[in-house]
Chain A
Amino acid sequence: MTNKAPFPLMIICAVLLLGSVDGFGQLRVSLNISSRPDPYLSNWSQRKEIVIVTVTNSSANPIDAKFDCKVNKDGALLANTKRESMQVLSLQPGVTQFYGEDLVPLAAMKIIGDAEKTAVKTGMLPAGSYEFCVGLIEPSSFKELTTPVCKNFTVESAQAPILLLPLDGDSMRAGQRPLFRWSIVKNNTSTTVRFHLQVFEVMAGQTPITAFRVNRPIIDIPDIQATQQLWPPDIDLVSQQKSLVWTVRATDDNGNPVGEPNGYATPFVLKTSQPANARREADVGVGVGVAKAGEGDVANRSSNSSSSSSRSASGPVVAAVPVAAVVESERSSVERRSAYVAPPSLPWWATRSQLAGS
């Protein structure tokens, strides 16, 4: 006497079998992916045009399935979706479209090796060539319902330019015509990187970064393809008296910034300087945008003050005094400024003691 399965169980199995056989071959997946998508992973869920999957269910019934996605870089697996974590989709008959967040939810992604650490740190895919593959799988058994469809894409990302010469804090002698130089920017595409040179005057009471943010540039040259630019001969140089702050911005053919932050190189300061003999005779104070040779640019680059407000309970400390004194010539005069003209957060009495001496 043989044991037979209960009749209801046989019916259930038949339905499931028919359903699974019915799912495979009745689902079709097509993949469209931007050839140059945004490198930031968080944008993939918000920009619909980056990746679109169209699923066609040619059956008369909805079919449950999950997406199964893989990302390969240079032929090796870089990331894939965790099958157990992916959402179960009920694919209705007809055509349905899905976008980035549905396909590669970051919470359900597994990134291989060091790439995960890099993704956490930077939030982006490294620049390079990739292959994206997507398919549908059965929610419980993970059996393939469609053959994976793959497309290639390229992530473009480049570092922003770095200013080279003149050095940060360098001096421009009277009559000298500076040659601005910066590093090249290479991206892995055929688009041309162009540079936009901007030079700003630093006016009284401004820090160099403030001048960069709020002034109108006296030199504003876009679409430079080289990595250098001479001070243009049609812009007067003789009368230049104020310190300058300059930078370049890298953009692609569409005007989009290349590199962070926003395509800008960290601005440099270029000072005007009196002749050497005059320097020896002058009482030159330290502080106003002066980057002394050998000092790290982190502390001196941004503002006119020292790295911290220098004051102690024992009494006034002679802090940096923004004094610019020059030789007695026709083009210069002694200016003594209070703490608030240059670095507002320096204690008032640190400069008051200097002013009292005058």
Chain B
Amino acid sequence: MKESVAITGLGVVSPCGMKKETFWANLKQARSFVDEITRFDAKLYPSRIAGQVHELDYYTHLSSRLIKKIDVFSHMALVASEQALQDARIDHTQVDKNRVGVFMGNALGGWLFAETELRDMYLEGREGISPYMASAWFPAAPQGQVTIYYGFKGYSKTIVADKASSALALWYGAKVIAEGKNDYVLAGGMEAPITPYALLSASSCGQLSKNNLNPQKAYRPYDLNRDGFVLGEGAGIVTFEKEAHARNRSAPVYGYLRGIGVSCDGYHYARYRLDPESFQYAIEECINDAGWKKEDIDYICLDGDATTIGDSNETMALKNVFGKKIGGIALSAPKSMYGNLLGAQTSLDLISTLLSMEHETILPTINYEMADPYCDLDYTPNVSRSRKIKKALILARGRGGINVVLAIEKA
């Protein structure tokens, strides 16, 4: 990164709370926010558990006139964006709107809106479909809605890359700041996959937990009895600006985005490679890009796929990259508490990592009860730990084999 890019505001819509304060307080409890799906009748689905957002309407600042035109994933993005702007003390009426951009990532688009309208189209014909359908469902809708809501006109983009979508959106957003193209960027991800069709699509990949009788125990990365990840929904948005810009206006600075590593498995449309070579490459590339040494790293926020191959492959990659040094690095997958938000996941991993830095606390990987010989690292099981974190990596992997690693440094 040519210039130091600061993260100055955090916005959270998650299954374990709205706003960074509640999100952090609930994560520290080290309990599961996964439960049976209540939004629709999911009893015939192989996986019918998820981390759902329940308080969006209570926290919204939007009019009902706008809400009915947008999918819930845009709604979540708008609420998280407002939180991030307020947290960063950015008055959107006082900025040069030509120099504020929005970089968003999601994997699926807005299916709750789309499914309802497609059903109406088949039941009622052409006139049964909402005119807002065209602008509500597609993956760039949240970016569009946020730019329209605030009138931001700067360089903006939406990235779709499965579970690495927001990782790349965050990176591109920071890069645009470093290159001086914008003064501010809102960046992050949003995903709302708890809908009949989206859940079915996610189920068909065969990677979702079917532990429906024990929802709170279902998402158990690295545990011997893991049987897949659990879906979650929500949004995480942060604000970026140049470090000097943030200091000049005495803005709060949580941390800096220092580097990225990206690779592709080039192997299969849904499965990870058995050997971790390409994942290792992304981790090494990120450390080099940040200009760090391996021993500098205090914490790694893990991918935590909770599949047999995903977790052992990740463990092997970490051991191959860090060797014996891995024993000195704190590791955890806090998403085990609230579900995997697919394209939005890295944005919440970034926020939880920044809050971990601020509170000098490593959040745990919950439901780790029985060791797997192929996953034999210390993943911070079940209980938070005190530890100072200065430098951290965040790991993200998407189906089809995209690997993205971000380097984050505490302010």
Mutual binders A and B: no
Q: List chain B positions with a Cβ less than 8 A from chain A.
A: none
A interface residues (Cβ-Cβ under 8 A, vs B): none
